[in-house]
Structures are given as structure tokens and as C-alpha cells.
Amino acid sequence: MMDAIANRAVFVARCAPAIRSLASIVREGGEARPANSARPVRRHARLGDRARAVMRVRHLSRRTEDAYLAWMIRYWEYCGRRDPAELGADHVTAFLSSLATDSHVAASTQNQALAALLFLYREVLGQDLPWLTGLVRAKVPKRLPVVMSREEVRAVLDAMRGPPRLMAVLLYGAGLRLLECCRLRVKDVDFERNQLVVRQGKGDKDRVTMLPAVARPALIDWLDRVRLQHARDLADGAGFVELPHALARKLPSAARDWSWQWVFPATRTYVDATSGERRRHHLHETVVQREVRRAALAVGLTKRITCHTFRHSFATHLLEDGSDIRTVQELLGHADVSTTMIYTHVLGRGPAGVRSPADRLLGGECDARS
């Protein structure tokens, strides 16, 4: 036993320089170098840290940061790991063209890559070059959303169990996005006014939406269970939760306050590396995604059902019931009513509201005999 431990220690010691070298590549975006060599002064050293710092100043979301950094690294590798400041329009155009021709990415993905490169040159490198404004964005095609019927929604919900089912009810009954539902805090649920407050939604915007009456009893029972769990966490010296922006410094006690806890907390706790606090994150979105996928397959739906399909169905069914499109726009949090207008494709004015000429001509059932 002691020999095995000694051999493992020797193995780790031998691998330590290689691990440190690999970490240096990932952290600085450069090439590996010997441990005893002098640090070269290069313009692209720690470019990722500079880009992340600029995005933090502009309060971009964490997912936008990760997406932009991924595209910057991909562009840097495509150009042979050359300094981006020495490259120009030809390299950016070639990179975007390769995405469409070689990688066959969608137009929205290509535009995201372009946005990341524009941010890199304008905001990080400080190069406001004329060719940046001349780049043509890919035309994003219009796609119709996948919508479930009311019977299909009921079938999927009946096939779900536990917290994911309650979350799916809120997705459909309140028109929430998945992450908006996962990030609900106790203070954002108003049982007196039957409404939910969405904080820092898409575009960093707050909005108010309805709390479905059918979900009210189940949500009250669920919060009672979560409160008991939070009390046990407090007794164990944990009970902390992540707070937005500088609230952890302004309100030191808020991190353990009941009102700031997640409505749908994770099953495990973790220790924050910076503060050393034992926290509980919200339930990961993949838990709900897997359960929705499993339920859709179990009921035999051929449509591609995702968590966002509940939101599409929410808007469509409201319009079918005669709700004003401006009201639906406010509930969904759309900045432009034209975005909400896409859900009018299923109303009586669409293909389902007219009679086919074949029905008028043939009258009866179509015979498939040859």
C-alpha cells in the first residue's frame, strides 16, 4: 500500500511541469515554454483576461463572455495563432466564410462570431478601423416556432414528476424562459398579487408576469420544503446563496436571508473559492431539459419539444383566447411587437382558417386506390 502511494506521488511530481505548462497555454492563449525561460513580451499575452475585463465593465452576461471568448480563441487559432492586432479585413472575412462553407454553421451563429470579433477589435484592441463597418452580416431566415396543442401540453406535464414538473408548469403558465425560472428567488414570488417578478431577464431587463393559479398550491408546498432545507443548511453553518453585483458587500447578511434563496435550489452545496462560503446554487437547467425530453418521448410526440416550446405555446394559446398582442408582448418581455407577431401564424387568419379547394371539390374522403 505504501509503495503504491509513493509511486503515485512520484508520478504526480513528474507530471506537474506539463500540467503547469498546459495551464499557461489556456490562461494566456500562448504557446508552452520551459519553466526556467524568460517570459516573452507579446501583445496577445493574457488577451483573454483583457477581453473578459472589458466585458465585465460593460456588464455583459456571463454566457456572452464565454461565447465571445470562445470565438476569439477560435479566430486566433484559425489565423495560425498570430496577433489579432496585426490582422485585417481579409482574415476576418476568410474566417467567417469558412464558418459558412466548411463548418456549415447557421446564419445566427455566424453573426455571433462577427459580433465577437467586432468587440475584440473595437473594445479590446481599440482599433476603430473602417473595414469593420463594411462587413456584411448573414441574413437570418425566418423560422416558425414549434407549438404544442393544449392536449399535448397536458400529456407532457402529466408524464413529468417532482420539481421539474412544477417548473414546466411555470414555463407554460407564465411564459418564462428556462433560466428565468431557474433563477427565481423567494422574494420574486408574490402570492398576494399572483405574479412573478423576473429579474435580469434577457437583455438585463426586469418584467412582471402572471403566477398561474393552478401552480399556487404546489408552489406554496414546495417553498415550505425548501424553507426547511434552508433551516438545516443554516444549522450546519451553510445557507449562503450567490448575490448579484455588489450586494454581498452592501448587504452582508442577505446571503443567508430566506427571501434571497432560490425557489428551486440544487440538491448539493458547494464551497465558493473566493469567499469560502458553503453555498447552494439553483437547480441546473439540464435537469429540467432532460425531464422534458424524456416526457415528450414517453407520450410519443414527433415534434421537437424543448423547454422553450412551453413559452411558445403560452404565447400562442393566449392569442388564441383573444388576448391583446401588446399584453402578450409585455408578458414575454419582447422589446418589439414584431417579435410577438410571429405567434399569429396559428390563428384563424392563417392556413388553419381557410378551406382547401380539394375539400370543396371532392367533398368526401380521398381514395388512395391506383
Distances (CA, A) of 233 to 4, 50, 62, 326: 39, 38, 27, 44
Strands (E), the chain: 189-190, 195-198, 207-210, 270-271, 278-279
What is the number of other CB atoms lying within 10 angstroms of the CB of residue 176? 27
Q: Phi, psi at residue 360, to the nearest 5°?
A: -70, -35
Question: Which of 264, 100, 247, 248 lies closest to 171 in space, CA to CA?
Answer: 264
Say how many C-beta atoms besides its own lie within 10 A of residue 269's C-beta: 16
Taking the chain, what is the end-to-end CA distance rounded to the nearest angstrom? 80
Question: Pick the catalytic residue: 199, 202, 278, 281?
Answer: 202
Which residue in 44, 230, 280, 311 is the catalytic one? 311
The answer to whether 59 is a known catalytic residue is no
Catalytic residue among 52, 165, 185, 334: 334
Contact of 263 with 184, CB cutoff 8 Å = yes
Residue 311 is among the residues annotated as catalytic for this protein: yes
Residue 44 three-state SS: coil
Is 75 one of the catalytic residues?
A: no
142 noted as active-site residue: no
Q: Please confirm, yes or no, whether 250 is among the known catalytic residues.
A: no
Catalytic residue among 177, 185, 230, 280: 177
Active site residue 177: yes
**Cβ–Cβ under 8 Å, residues 179 and 285:** yes
Q: Which residues contact 301 (CB under 8 A, 6 or more apart)?
A: 148, 152, 155, 156
Among candidate residues 123, 129, 134, 47, the one with its CA nearest the CA of residue 82: 47
Distances in whole angstroms, Cα of residue 189 to Cα of each of 174, 287, 296, 335, 341: 12, 22, 28, 23, 29
Catalytic residues: 177, 202, 308, 311, 334, 343
